């Protein structure tokens, strides 16, 4: 009989290791599913930096614009494997999840002017912000009796 058929999930595993899936379930935080971002407007340019380590930006990230909002969606897929050839054991764990963040865009930003780059786990999105015209002072309107 092969080792895979005789192996028991409770064999030589600590109680803490057995509780790990339940801990992750109950400690889940909705904020963890949000992408952390940093926003800055400097010299009439909006820069949004998003932490997205360990992903392939060409396959796992989608950037879109709608209703004056910049939308960043990402998906992470991780796989870990542990092999103990001496004892004939194999363990594999998969983790995956979707992450989303919306950032309001300043008025006048044009979709076609938005550019994005990815380096060292940071997605950087830049958009030129048009100068806002100076507001004209309020003018008083005369009322005539008719």
CATH number for the domain spanning 51: value is 2.60.40.790
Nearest alpha carbon to residue 62 among 75, 72, 48:
72
pLDDT of residue 136: 76
Q: Are 35 and 52 in contact (CB under 8 A)?
A: yes
Has residue 146 been placed in a domain? no
pLDDT of residue 8: 53
Count: domains in the chain: 1
Q: Are 79 and 92 in contact (CB under 8 A)?
A: yes
Full residue range of the structural domain in which residue 41 is found: 33-128
Predicted confidence (pLDDT) per residue in 24-42, tens digit: 555 545 545 678 999 999 9
Structure token digits, residue 33? 């599913």
pLDDT of residue 93: 81
Q: Is the pLDDT of residue 128 over 80?
A: yes
Has residue 60 been placed in a domain? yes
Has residue 65 been placed in a domain? yes
Has residue 12 been placed in a domain? no
% of the chain surpassing 70 pLDDT: 76
Has residue 74 been placed in a domain? yes
Residues 6+ apart with CB under 8 A from 2: 88
Q: Is the pLDDT of residue 95 over 80?
A: no
Has residue 5 been placed in a domain? no
Has residue 7 been placed in a domain? no
């Amino acid at each position: 009989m092969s080792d895979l058929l005789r192996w028991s999930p409770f064999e030589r595993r600590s109680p803490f290791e057995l509780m790990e899936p339940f801990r992750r379930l109950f400690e889940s935080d909705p904020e963890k599913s949000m992408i952390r971002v940093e926003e800055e407007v400097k010299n009439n340019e909006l820069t949004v930096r998003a932490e997205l380590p360990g992903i392939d930006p060409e396959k796992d990230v989608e950037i879109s614009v709608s209703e004056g909002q910049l939308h960043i969606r990402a998906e992470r897929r991780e796989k870990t494997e542990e092999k103990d050839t001496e004892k004939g054991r194999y363990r594999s764990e998969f983790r995956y999840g979707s992450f989303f963040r919306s950032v309001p865009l300043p008025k006048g930003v044009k979709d076609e002017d938005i550019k994005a780059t990815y380096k060292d786990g940071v997605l950087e999105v830049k958009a030129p912000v048009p100068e806002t015209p100076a507001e004209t002072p309020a003018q008083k309107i005369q009322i005539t009796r008719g």
